[in-house]
Structure 1
Amino acid sequence: MSLTKGKAEHMYDAIVVGSGISGGWAAKELCEKGLSTLVLERGHKLEHVTDYKTTNSAPWELQWLNKPSREIISQQKKQSRTGYTVRPSQNQLFVDDIDHPYEEKKRFDWMRGYHTGGRSVMWGRQTYRLSQMDFEANAKEGISIPWPISYEEIAPWYSYVEKFVGISGNADGLVQLPDGIFQPAMALTPPELDLKAGVEGKWDTRKVVHARIAHLTKPTPEQLALGRSACMYRNLCIRGCPFGAYFSSQSATLKAAANTGKMTLRTHSIVHSVIYDDKAGKAIGVRLIDEVTLETTEYFAKVIFLNASTVASTAILMNSKSDRYQNGMDESGSLGGYLMDHHLGVGAKGHIDTHADKVQFGRRPGGFYIPRYRNFTEKPGKGNYLRGFGYQGEGMRQGWSRPIAGFGADFKKELTSFGPWKIGMYGFGECLPYENNRISLSKKKTDKWGLPLVVADAEFQENEHAMREDMMNDSAEMLESMGAKGISTYNREPSIGLAIHEMGTARMGSSPEESVLNKHNQVWGAPNVFCTDGAAMVSSGCQNPSLTYMALTARAVDFAVTEMKKGNL
């Protein structure tokens, strides 16, 4: 391909679409391997530390006591469905639903952050590996298609990213929750230790372990050199961490990429499509729309990584049409299908009367985790269903924000005293990959940039609803085992997207007849296009998925650069 002067100025070795969890990793790995890399972020520039405007604000300094105004709610009706994403302390990190609409045939809670670092700035940071059992489940049960890779293939890449990310946790020796490379775990509180004793004393099959979270507790020299430091136990993470204690693109991967001198970051860059050369049989670049000027521009590269997030990367593939790909970059018909998310909003809570003489240190960003045991060491207790669930939770003393009545000296004393210990757990259940859980692009409606709106048509089905009965009942009986009082359960109607773990829609597989991507995350028929975010997932497990996206990305970059050196891309 001969390039004009203008095109030559837009030529890079690699292009990465998206700067979030997986995009940051793609940028780091490509740059550190010597490739000049253009990172395209569709939103605005968010500077690490200086743009975390409320990170040091006291509760009484926040606007409207950190409650959303009617104006905010009117602009972010869908973003507000979580109950926490539109608080004044962080609502600037989530998109405006008016400018960024989508359509729902069934309720779909699509939480998005369009800025440098994407949702890596606001993620929950629970960080777990999938297990061999998770990678084998589809094949053993005849569900959907098998994963084209095994746990053994991805395990070294889990270790590789864990070392850089920095994850606090314990090696627990559990088959269903493989150990990794950990920094010291954050201590369990007294009621959490009581829960561990009660549960493990009653059931040989159930374990209560420390949450594994992407927070530094003993930073390595590599992490310190990036300006990161140990967690300060503030638990104000969703406002942005000025200490770099939790892992984000800004604090870690993008900074490492920038340190190489090989990265160019372009914000306000909405990628419309991948440009595919039918004669060459590969992609040559991407077409983008400037968010501010609306100008259309093309950039060119030898290799392209799509890391815009599950739904956005799939939308780009759907928009990428050519003579070969007349319906988007897919020949299997699976593009857009098999959308998954974890189902939550089910669990139990209670309180204890003991340990009144004890308090916890600071405000940890994590608590305990109960790994999956149903359909592993225990059969379903209620109904019948495939796969299983895990629990996250914490036991903490109530503080000054608890309901306190009174006035005068007694009132002031209560405000400066700890309340009782509360403990609760909430489940995350696996969702099966269903072909009819789909996203598509509207043929009639477009946004202000001329892009067709995403249309979501997905819901949790019979298997997930059957699982929820055990998720609710089991949580109550485990709290009973530790002697908790006033136990109450809940089981809210779940909706896809609310866990913010959307996965699938451009799955990996073993042939172009059944999948969008091959085992190396390459688009079939476009070997220099890789997709390594949640879109690639073949099943969901019940563990938080971000670590798997990071590992897949590092693995795919290593393969891509090796193939480039061989002249195969």
Structure 2
Amino acid sequence: MNENVVYDAIVVGTGITGGWAAKELCENGLKTLVLERGPMVKHIEDYKTMNWDAWDMPYNGELSLEDKKKYPKQLRVGWAPKDDVKHFFVNDLEHPYQETKRFDWIRGYHVGGRSITWGKQSYRWSDIDFEANKKDGHGVDWPVRYKDISPWYDKVETYIGVSGQNLGLKQLPDGKFQPPMELNCVEKELQASMKTGFEDDRLLTIGRVAHITDKTAQFEGRTVCQYRNRCWRGCPFGGYFSSNSSTLPAAERTGNMTLRPNSIVHEVIYDESKKMATGVRVIDSETQEKLEFKGKIVFLCASAMASVGILLQSKSKTFPNGMGNNYDQVGRNIMDHHYQLGAYAKVDGHLDKYYKGRRPNGFYIPRFVNLDAKTKREGFLRGFGYQGGAGRNNWSEMVAEMGYGPSLKQAILKPGGWQIGMTGFGEMLPYPDNRVTLSKDKKDQWGLPQLDFDVEFKENELKMRETIKEEAVAMLKVAGFRDVEPYENETGPGLGIHEMGGAPMGHNPKTSVLNKHNQVHSVPNVYVTDGAFMSSASCVNPSLTYMAFTARAANHAAEQFKQNKFS
């Protein structure tokens, strides 16, 4: 590649936001360089485990002892990585970071990033979320409101294909949905009992997921979900949304995209005279070659913590502590959702019913506390929602000591009784002392400073967790299910894999890093649109919001470019 070429735009990262930035910029006619620090992953061709069955995995999907040594931090989450997807998770030993306090940083360094392995849950924010910081004084006031983002939610949902059900709730705005997936009989029983068993407006619905369900819909290169539930291996049908199956091919079709994998961006170059960025500095991960690429616009979409790291490393005379960091705001207010707690139960009856396929989705119970005076709860601010599901299984039927011979063979061919469970996802407040910084003495194999995490859940989150368990138990008991039990596993920031913050949007450059268009306040041709821009966390999965803000920012950047604002 010719380093003397000046691109109209440079996009750093190819995950959920990088793909959207590339698509929108390229479709607006901008010659765009897309840089990814990891290797190439081609849609379908590089999904090497997409059709594996259980008997194709030597350890029934578990990692070998040798492989487990490579993922000491990511294995703390309890479910990732597995043998069929280990290539989509980074080797912790090769990509270290520091922990003043424990932080479970789950990463995928390859083209497509975590858009291959994400859970696809897609929910809109409401003005209850956008106004929360201003009302209760935590964090900085968002410089936008729902009306500013609503048309971009429309655009993203329509393009990626989100299935779900409109509910008319103020705390969970309706969207442009494909037909909803179906609840099973036990989930419908819980749904019915909640309507009559509580005085507040709590309800249960099928999850809103980025899966195509409309067989008549037209999506270039994609078709309907096949209910295989092998999503995180990469979907050859493109049934769920990923950068690889959707936005990156759209950008490529324009002829305006240049994609370069194995390119570690570590610094945005700042021109003191122009007061704008002029490109990025890169290390080739394979050759160790140091490169510079020039661009009139830079989009940081490397994932929240990685983008924060790039800003902190982008030092100059104007920004001795990192780009946009003259007021020591970059790296602060790191957030994640807290979960790993809820309740489960056994369900009698329905033994004549089962379900078809492997639905890659569960039910969702939207937030129902601290919405108004009627739903006010003492002891904590903000709220939580639940995800869950019901199924037929009985682990004891697979224990050899409980049967043998012909009786065992017959027993394992029959489904067990019904069980149901739900997990709460709670909002974490933005705290200035929850921060990530550059290590002063620890470097990675490329000589770059490692990130050091000093993030923790505080009193508000811990008090909320008690209510999450109590309400989960109450809902299962109202339904008449038996053996209802609460549960709570060890957890910490990062485990929710919704890490965000570090370069929040706001009105004032002294208290925030980005303006209402996702531009660095003092460097208008640098946009940050991954989770780093979040000024608060809400309690819903954030990816849909990341995509909507990215589409909005990319179109703003294209308009500014066409008006020669970045020349």
Shorter-chain TM-score range: over 0.9
The counterpart of 1:270, out of the listed 264, 269, 275, is 264
Aligned to 1:49: 44
Contact 1:289 1:297 (8 Å CA) reproduced: yes
The answer to whether structure 1 residue 169 and structure 2 residue 159 are counterparts is no
Contact 1:17 1:271 (8 Å CA) reproduced: yes
The counterpart of 1:240, out of the listed 234, 243, 249, is 234
Kindly tell me: are residues 109 and 42 of structure 1, through their superposed partners in 2, closer, same or farther at Cα, counting changes over 3 Å?
same
Contact 2:384 2:426 (8 Å CA) reproduced: yes
The counterpart of 1:441, out of the listed 438, 441, 451, is 438
Matches within 5 A, 1:392-471: 392-398=387-393, 403-405=398-400, 406-471=403-468
1:219 and 1:120 map into 2 onto residues whose CA distance is: 23
Aligned to 2:155: 160
TM-score, normalised via structure 1 length: 0.96
The answer to whether structure 1 residue 144 and structure 2 residue 139 are counterparts is yes
SS of alignment partner, residue 395 of structure 1? strand
1:122 and 1:7 map into 2 onto residues whose CA distance is: 33
What is the one-letter code of the residue matched to 2:87?
Answer: Q
Contact 1:184 1:217 (8 Å CA) reproduced: yes
Per-residue CA deviations over 1:409-441 (Å, capped at 9, x if unaligned) read 322222222111111000000000000000000
Deviation at 1:222, TM superposition (A): 4.2
SS of alignment partner, residue 316 of structure 1? helix
Aligned to 1:280: 274
Aligned to 2:293: 299
1:171 and 1:256 map into 2 onto residues whose CA distance is: 29
SS of alignment partner, residue 437 of structure 2? strand
2:55 and 2:405 map into 1 onto residues whose CA distance is: 20
Deviation at 1:213, TM superposition (A): 0.5
1:373 and 1:221 map into 2 onto residues whose CA distance is: 34
Aligned to 2:62: 67
2:415 and 2:542 map into 1 onto residues whose CA distance is: 35
2:32 and 2:397 map into 1 onto residues whose CA distance is: 50
Aligned to 1:114: 109
Aligned residues: 561
Contact 2:335 2:537 (8 Å CA) reproduced: yes
Per-residue CA deviations over 1:244-266 (Å, capped at 9, x if unaligned) read 00100001000111111111110
Contact 1:144 1:434 (8 Å CA) reproduced: yes
Aligned to 2:303: 309
Kindly tell me: are residues 370 and 6 of structure 1, through their superposed partners in 2, closer, same or farther at Cα, counting changes over 3 Å?
closer
Aligned to 1:562: 559
Per-residue CA deviations over 1:53-103 (Å, capped at 9, x if unaligned) read 111111121121111222122110001112221210111110001110000
The counterpart of 1:212, out of the listed 208, 215, 228, is 208
What is the one-letter code of the residue matched to 2:254?
Answer: T
Mean alpha-carbon deviation: is it higher for 200-209 or for 425-434? 200-209
Aligned to 2:382: 387
Kindly tell me: are residues 402 and 393 of structure 1, through their superposed partners in 2, closer, same or farther at Cα, counting changes over 3 Å?
farther
Structure 2 unaligned spans of 5+? none
SS of alignment partner, residue 66 of structure 1? coil
SS of alignment partner, residue 346 of structure 2? strand
Matches within 5 A, 1:315-330: 315-330=309-324
Kindly tell me: are residues 52 and 358 of structure 1, through their superposed partners in 2, closer, same or farther at Cα, counting changes over 3 Å?
same
Deviation at 1:221, TM superposition (A): 4.9
Mean alpha-carbon deviation: is it higher for 458-467 or for 205-214? 205-214
Aligned to 2:183: 188
Aligned to 1:514: 511
Aligned to 1:534: 531
Structure 1 unaligned spans of 5+? none
Kindly tell me: are residues 254 and 6 of structure 1, through their superposed partners in 2, closer, same or farther at Cα, counting changes over 3 Å?
closer
Contact 2:39 2:262 (8 Å CA) reproduced: yes
What is the one-letter code of the residue matched to 1:470?
Answer: T
Kindly tell me: are residues 219 and 247 of structure 1, through their superposed partners in 2, closer, same or farther at Cα, counting changes over 3 Å?
farther
Contact 2:398 2:412 (8 Å CA) reproduced: no
SS of alignment partner, residue 484 of structure 2? strand
The answer to whether structure 1 residue 336 and structure 2 residue 331 are counterparts is yes
Deviation at 1:443, TM superposition (A): 1.2
Contact 2:3 2:291 (8 Å CA) reproduced: no
Per-residue CA deviations over 1:446-480 (Å, capped at 9, x if unaligned) read 10011100000000000000000010010011001
Mean alpha-carbon deviation: is it higher for 447-456 or for 80-89? 80-89
Kindly tell me: are residues 221 and 256 of structure 1, through their superposed partners in 2, closer, same or farther at Cα, counting changes over 3 Å?
farther
2:323 and 2:512 map into 1 onto residues whose CA distance is: 11
SS of alignment partner, residue 92 of structure 1? helix
Contact 1:26 1:553 (8 Å CA) reproduced: yes
2:250 and 2:431 map into 1 onto residues whose CA distance is: 38
2:58 and 2:42 map into 1 onto residues whose CA distance is: 22
CA RMSD in angstroms comes to: 1.4
SS of alignment partner, residue 421 of structure 2? strand
Deviation at 1:220, TM superposition (A): 6.1
Aligned to 2:366: 371
1:472 and 1:134 map into 2 onto residues whose CA distance is: 23
SS of alignment partner, residue 63 of structure 1? coil
SS of alignment partner, residue 425 of structure 1? strand
Kindly tell me: are residues 60 and 292 of structure 1, through their superposed partners in 2, closer, same or farther at Cα, counting changes over 3 Å?
same
1:515 and 1:411 map into 2 onto residues whose CA distance is: 63
What is the one-letter code of the residue matched to 2:230?
Answer: L
Mean alpha-carbon deviation: is it higher for 84-93 or for 285-294? 84-93
Contact 1:400 1:417 (8 Å CA) reproduced: no
What is the one-letter code of the residue matched to 2:448?
Answer: L
The answer to whether structure 1 residue 289 and structure 2 residue 286 are counterparts is no
Deviation at 1:403, TM superposition (A): 3.1
Contact 1:372 1:388 (8 Å CA) reproduced: yes
Per-residue CA deviations over 1:285-312 (Å, capped at 9, x if unaligned) read 0000000111110001111100000000
Kindly tell me: are residues 308 and 219 of structure 1, through their superposed partners in 2, closer, same or farther at Cα, counting changes over 3 Å?
farther
Deviation at 1:551, TM superposition (A): 0.4
SS of alignment partner, residue 343 of structure 2? strand
Per-residue CA deviations over 1:306-343 (Å, capped at 9, x if unaligned) read 00000000000000111111110122211000000000
Deviation at 1:494, TM superposition (A): 2.4
Contact 1:380 1:470 (8 Å CA) reproduced: no
